Amino acid sequence: MSKRRKYSRHSVRSTVQNIYAKAGISRLPTGSYPRVHDIRHTQAVHALEKMHSEGMDLYYSLPILCSYLGHKDIRSTEKYLRLPYFKHDEVTLSSRELVEGMIPEVHWDEE
């Protein structure tokens, strides 16, 4: 049985950059290619968007995404996510039913 060694960061980065070049993926304005972590982040966001578009509540989908990414703690998963990836209008509309009536509407009388 042969002993397996871990890949070095340089080896992984170099391999991914070669794949980018062969796939015709352009470099970023900084001159570098996207990082491997960027691919993982993008996949996490797309998976969450898909669950959201299929009508799954975001609070139920996070534990699923956590498991999918192999995280032991949901806080690790939350680091991958940013609200701007979702359409704010959709999130507002979908949550409106939940919060309607919880916060009273305020009318300021102009004098």
SS3 6: coil
Q: Which of 38, 8, 44 is nearest to 25 (CA)?
A: 38
The per-residue pLDDT for range 12-34, each reduced to its tens digit, is: 888 888 888 898 888 888 888 88
CA distance 83 to 60: 16
Whole-prediction pTM value?
A: 0.57
76 pLDDT higher than 90: no
4, HSE (Cβ side, Cα atoms, 13 Å):
2
Angle at the Cα of 73 from the Cα atoms of 68 and 79, rounded to 5 degrees: 80
63 pLDDT higher than 60: yes
The per-residue pLDDT for range 95-107, each reduced to its tens digit, is: 666 666 666 677 7
